[in-house]
Chains A and B, each alone.
Chain A
Amino acid sequence: MTENAWVQCIAYFAAVIGFGALYGPYMARVYEGKPGWLGRVFGPVESALYRLSGVDPDEGMGWKTYAAAALLFNMLGVFAVYALQRLQGLLPLNPAGFGAVAAHSAFNTAASFATNTNWQGYGGETTMSYLTQMLGLTVQNFLSAAAGMAVLAAFIRGLRARETENLGNFWADMVRTTLYILLPLSLVMAVVLVWQGVPQDFKPAAKAAMVETVHYDNNGKPASTDEQDIPLGPAASQIAIKQLGTNGGGYYNVNSAHPLENPTPLSNFVECWAILALAAACCIMFGVMVEDRRQGWAILAAMTVILVPMVLFCAVCEQRGNPLVAALGVSTQAVEGPAATSGGNMEGKEVRFGIADSALWAVTTTAASNGSVDSMHDSYTPLGGLIPLFMMQLGEVVYGGVGSGLYGMLVFVLVAVFVAGLMVGRTPEYLGKKIEAFEMKMASVVVLIMPILALVPTALAVVSASAKASLANPGAHGFSEILYAFTSMANNNGSAFAGLTANVPFYDILGGFVMLLGRYWIMVPTLAIAGSLSRKKIVPAGEGTLPTHTPLFVGLLVGVVLIVGALTFVPALALGPVAEHLMMIGVR
């Protein structure tokens, strides 16, 4: 790793954690219905909405009602996105005249955006009308993120409640998250992105007369053109929330590697910061809401302790480069000074980002269930590409999706507390709540469903001829492509080893179900745990209580997350990236 890469990483984490420390307490106030001065701006909108919909924001819900409301709301999202894609040919704001999206692809995208996965089976600039991008995809970017944060708020209320059923009101949580937490940040960020060069208009693609005429082969016939289409549209507004809401579904096909989606190092810093910013703030908010800030900092510390070494390892692998390419007379050395070059493995990377920014993004986006990319993970070195894959396999709890990452991590906290309880022979408790059989059953369901959803479809694909026809690369790398695809969908991440042609019925339909199960099979048992905990008494901490804010507990939590992830996935990783690495260094 270069010196500059170190400086970039340190500045990055300082910006993420600093923001979290400032914004987290504000978010906690929003969930108590006290949004401060923004309340004076959006307050009238909020109360009008409650009046129209007949919602009493102070009316509490039990976990079953809360879960039912969340599922119902998300189903509406799936239907709306599906309908918009199928009908876009008949609707306005479609200057390119795109027709209906194929049914299997529309289902996949609808499931993908409603579940905060934002797996992209389609290429935005070649498939989706401006209306679909805005009213379908941008809306789900907000609402799926808000749903994750609402469920987190409910879970935290369950932890601090004393013998009640009340987890809060889902509708109030949704409205407040959208109005006070997501919209203001998105608006500011969208304007910054436009300043840096991200398009924001409703014009059709612009035509440019290129400097040189290009001669090419068009299906065997020689052809030439000097015309370039510059794709435009309402891009910045969507890109801001896709980063902040850990959505990740790009406006353009290559996502934030596209120079119009992510034009400069500054835009890259802001977009990459936004991947983790709200997830970090959620941890601080948690500490404030349970009235013990150390608890929030402890969890944020555990996440960061896992994440940072992964970033460094990935950056080292990519900086070292591909020995097979170096053998062809290509430099892989980083050089500073007038003849600067980033060196390393530049296949599938952009010059303005080089190695450090690409590796930092690749690891944070997979840690955080964001799934946007600023470089092509498929072309990473085998071990460099193993890291993004493994980050997802940890279950998207290292920062994780907004809301969903922390509630996933809190389930791991319960597992860690339980393991510690077994070791010392005491009833485990967390924040004064006794952790008993029901909680552990639900936690097991949460922890076990993801590996099943990732590995069983991978196995199915490997034995299906039609699934294998989608592979772009031969050998062990092809297996990695399939494993990556289902790991990404099962974890609601959405990034891809993009060589895989996933926009075919097999991956679209199977993947659609994997994404829906991966989201709701975790969300519902998590709410069940919250419901069970909310009914319990809070036991005062005694001499035998395991403190959960100490470095010892942080270490235990890190151990549990890593061991569960590693035990489940190491065999599959050995068949894919590890095998390929051995081949790469062996054939020199």
Chain B
Amino acid sequence: MKTVLGQLRPALIVFAALSILTGLLYPALTTALARALFPSQADGSPIARNGKVVGSALIGQPFSDPRHFWGRPSATSPFPDNAAASSGSNLGPTNPALLKAVRDRVAALRAADPAASGPIPPDLVTASASGLDPDISPAAALYQVPRVARARGLSVAAVRALVLGRVEGRWLGVFGEPRVNVLELNLALDAAASDALQRNAKAGT
């Protein structure tokens, strides 16, 4: 039977070899495959507008302009949706700080659209797990349609159609939840609004 010292050589060599294999070769091979097969995803799924990267399709952004749809509240610091430091609120269910935050968000939504009635979808007033959630539920998007339409001078029906056209369903109809990507929705909305503006300008001349 070998002693502990006798095991030292295999320990060092097996450790070094498996480290190189799993710590260098395996990530390198994965990277090469990723490069070849899915280059955009491998680099964080960037979205460009007019040749400039305006964000990632997978990372939420802070929106507070009434002409944009608003995303999930974010608990990252020092500013919301800070992708360099992901974080949830970690507030417990009975924590007074949680209830105050939700109350403030409810008040802000009601102030932005006093005509809206009915209960507010939960994802619109609770902080996401990552602080970077790119999505809201279809209900949360539809809740904001009247406000956005009014602020843009667009018809409710047009904005509603835009939202419903961008709903992503469950995977295979079963897994996950239906959702709307807020950044992509707002970019589409900006594009639609500038089209409408140009049409109006043409009609005026």
Q: Does A218 lie within 8 Å of B138, measured CB to CB?
A: no
In chain A, what residue has the closest Cβ to B45? A197
Q: Which of B35-61 contact A (CB under 8 A)?
A: 35, 37-38, 41-46, 52-61
Most buried by B among A69, A238, A379, A472: A379
CB contacts (< 8 Å) of B29 on chain A: these are 187
CA distance A194 to B9 in the complex (A): 38
In chain B, what residue has the closest Cβ to A55? B10
CB contacts (< 8 Å) of B26 on chain A: these are 138, 183, 186-187, 237
In chain A, what residue has the closest Cβ to B17? A49
Q: How far is the CB of B102 from chain A (nearest CB, A)?
A: 5
Most buried by A among B57, B59, B176, B190: B176
Q: Does B177 lie within 8 Å of A342, measured CB to CB?
A: yes
Q: Counting CB contacts under 8 A, is B31 at the interface?
A: yes
Q: Does A258 lie within 8 Å of B90, measured CB to CB?
A: no
CB contacts (< 8 Å) of A354 on chain B: these are 176-177
Among B35, B87, B95, which residue has its beta carbon within 8 angstroms of that of A254?
Answer: B87
Number of interface residues of A (CB under 8 A): 143
Q: How far is the CB of B100 from chain A (nearest CB, A)?
A: 10
Q: Which of A238-266 contact B (CB under 8 A)?
A: 238, 241, 252-254, 257-260, 263-266
Interchain pairs with CB closer than 8 A, number: 426
CA distance A8 to B173 in the complex (A): 10
Q: Which of B1-35 contact A (CB under 8 A)?
A: 1-2, 4, 7-15, 17-19, 21-24, 26-27, 29-31, 33-35
Q: Does B95 lie within 8 Å of A340, measured CB to CB?
A: no
CB contacts (< 8 Å) of B178 on chain A: these are 340
Q: Does B93 lie within 8 Å of A322, measured CB to CB?
A: yes
CA distance A350 to B44 in the complex (A): 19
Q: Does B85 lie within 8 Å of A253, measured CB to CB?
A: yes
Given A55-B10, A200-B42, A346-B123, A212 and B62 contact (CB-CB distance below 8 Å): yes
Q: Does A125 lie within 8 Å of B85, measured CB to CB?
A: yes
Q: How far is the CB of B42 from chain A (nearest CB, A)?
A: 5
Given A175-B18, A351-B177, A199 and B44 contact (CB-CB distance below 8 Å): yes
Most buried by A among B29, B86, B128, B137: B86
Q: How far is the CB of B168 from chain A (nearest CB, A)?
A: 8
Q: Does B79 lie within 8 Å of A73, measured CB to CB?
A: no
CA distance A345 to B147 in the complex (A): 25
CA distance A203 to B183 in the complex (A): 24
Q: Does B142 lie within 8 Å of A339, measured CB to CB?
A: yes
Q: Does A201 lie within 8 Å of B11, measured CB to CB?
A: no
Given A252-B86, A328-B102, A195 and B164 contact (CB-CB distance below 8 Å): no
Most buried by B among A234, A238, A241, A497: A234
Q: Does B187 lie within 8 Å of A125, measured CB to CB?
A: no
Taking Cβ atoms with an 8 Å cutoff, the residues of B that contact A are 1-2, 4, 7-15, 17-19, 21-24, 26-27, 29-31, 33-35, 37-38, 41-46, 52-65, 68, 72, 78-96, 98-99, 102-103, 106, 118-123, 125-140, 142, 164, 167, 170-171, 174-179, 183, 186-187, 190
List the 8 closest A-B pairs by CB distance, nearest first.
Answer: A265-B176, A499-B90, A354-B177, A257-B129, A331-B119, A477-B92, A341-B139, A53-B13
- Please name 30 pairs of A and B residues whose Cβ atoms are closer than 8 Å in the assembled complex, sorted by A: A53-B17, A54-B13, A68-B7, A69-B10, A73-B15, A77-B15, A125-B86, A135-B24, A197-B45, A197-B58, A201-B42, A206-B46, A214-B62, A230-B44, A230-B46, A231-B44, A341-B137, A342-B137, A345-B126, A346-B126, A348-B88, A348-B129, A349-B126, A350-B133, A353-B176, A357-B177, A376-B90, A378-B88, A382-B93, A580-B93
